């Protein structure tokens, strides 16, 4: 059986940059090329992550150590993006690479 539409993206909320960075590093480790977006709304970081049905639970469990999973809430994310400040249209790839040891080794191959 095939779904007619892809699953809605998961939305996460983080209180600070440290929690956000920890969560993004986990997501990047699990699924580095996952589509994502990040915005800042009312002092909280709101991260939207698209993933297949098989990976959703694993991602949610890994990220919930750092922040709150709001579930499949693309309308809420769109509201936060519109009324807040958009930070990145590809947060997991951009921030995750910068945070990962792999990214550090690519920048400094002599280490």
pLDDT tens digit sequence for 21-60:
999 999 998 888 899 999 999 999 999 999 888 888 888 8
User: What are the residue ranges spanned by the domains of the chain?
Assistant: 10-107
pTM for the whole structure: 0.82
Residue 47: count of CB within 10 angstroms of its CB? 28
Q: What angle do CA 88, 93, 96 make, to 5 degrees?
A: 100
Maximum Cα–Cα distance across the chain: 50
Task: Report the chain's C-alpha Rg in angstroms.
Answer: 14
Quick: pLDDT tens for 52-89.
888 888 888 989 999 999 988 888 999 989 999 999 99
CATH classification number, 10-107, choose in 3.40.50.1820, 3.40.50.800, 3.90.1640.10, 3.30.70.1950: 3.30.70.1950
């Amino acid at each position: 059986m095939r779904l007619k539409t892809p699953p809605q993206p998961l939305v996460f909320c983080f209180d600070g940059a440290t929690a956000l960075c920890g969560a993004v590093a986990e997501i990047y480790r699990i699924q580095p090329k996952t589509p994502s977006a990040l915005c800042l709304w009312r002092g909280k970081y709101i991260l939207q992550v698209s993933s297949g049905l098989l990976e959703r639970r694993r991602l949610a469990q890994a990220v919930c150590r750092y922040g709150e999973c709001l579930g499949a809430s693309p309308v809420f994310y769109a509201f936060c993006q519109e009324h807040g400040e958009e930070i990145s249209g590809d947060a997991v790839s951009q921030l995750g690479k910068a945070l990962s040891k792999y990214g550090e080794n690519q920048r400094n191959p002599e280490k």
